[in-house]
Amino acid sequence: MVESVLGDNVEESVVDEESCKPTSLTVWKKSLVYSCSGFSVIDHCGNLRYRVENYAGHSRMEDIVLMDAAGKSLLTMRRKKMSWHNSWLVFDGEVDDHCKMRPICCVRKCMNLLLLLQAKVLARVFSSDDRFAYMIQGSYGRRSCRVYDNSCKLVVEIQRKAATLEGNTFGEDVFQLIIWPGFDPVLAMALVVLLDQMFS
């Protein structure tokens, strides 16, 4: 188990802690379930690691559940109601409408035009006690984002996936999620899902 900066125990990491090298996951913006939209996340061995299935099509959702390959709920992302910002609360596991659990974090879209233009800050992540934890910079539309922790250390990166055959491209629906050791890969994927909700 890896302990995240947010202080919660998380699923067994896909990051090789001994090598101190980042691990790359392939993210496909497509559900493996027919007639659903969502995400499928593949590890370096070709195994399905995570999935998100949206049975409502491409409409904006109020709750999104990130699951493992077997369908076990890992995190629930819930749009925060009555918020000036495009904010999402992230809960451990699956939660219902009457949830009294404290969220593990809150992800807020950057609404400060000056910050957005100068530093290309897309969103900020706050811990459950409302302390700043992470900052997301870059362009989600171009699949070029970096996540920094509160000490400005790079912990996650989103990049276009390079094609192995010359002249071929994967387009915007297939990209890489690069995770540095010590960062929770489940939370990294949740950030991708929320960026997609905020900027697609």
Judge whether 106 lies within some domain: yes
Identify the pLDDT of residue 116. 53
* CATH number of the CATH domain containing 176: 2.40.160.200
Q: What torsion, rounded to 10 degrees, do the Cα atoms 191, 196, 198, 200 define?
A: 170
Is the pLDDT score of 182 beyond 80?
Answer: yes
Quick check: is 177 in a domain?
A: yes
* SS3 state of residue 195: helix
Q: Which of 124, 125, 105, 127 lies closest to 115 in space, CA to CA?
A: 124
Asked if pLDDT for residue 168 goes beyond 80, the answer is no
In a domain, 174, yes or no: yes
In a domain, 125, yes or no: yes
The one-letter code for the residue type at 174 is: V
d(CA 185, CA 14): 7
pTM, two decimals, is 0.84
Q: 105 - beta bridge partners?
A: 90, 127
Among residues of the chain, what percentage have pLDDT more than 90?
56
pLDDT digit string (tens) for 110-151? 877 665 566 688 999 999 999 999 999 999 999 999 999 999
Pairwise CA distance, residues 142 & 166, whole Å: 20
Report phi then psi at 153, rounded to 5.
Answer: -90, 135
The domain tally of the chain equals 1
Q: Quick one: DSSP state of residue 58?
A: T
Please check whether residue 10 is in contact with residue 4, taking contact to mean a CB–CB distance below 8 angstroms: yes
Using pLDDT thresholds of 50, 70 and 90, give the confidence band for residue 60. low
- The answer to whether residue 43 sits within a structural domain is yes
- Residue 176 forms part of a structural domain: yes
| pLDDT tens-digit map of 83-97 | 667 899 999 998 877
Is residue 41 in some structural domain?
yes
Q: Domain range spanning residue 100?
A: 27-199
Give the count of beta carbons closer than 10 Å to the beta carbon of residue 1.
Answer: 10
The answer, yes or no, to whether residue 23 has pLDDT greater than 70, is: yes
* Total residue count of the chain as it appears in this document: 200
Q: Are strands 121-127 and 63-68 parallel, antiparallel or unpaired?
A: unpaired
Tokens of 180: 């540095």
Helix (H) or strand (E) holding 113: helix 113-118
Q: Determine the Cα–Cα distance for residues 86 and 56; give it in Å rounded to an integer.
A: 20
**Residue 194 resides in a domain:** yes
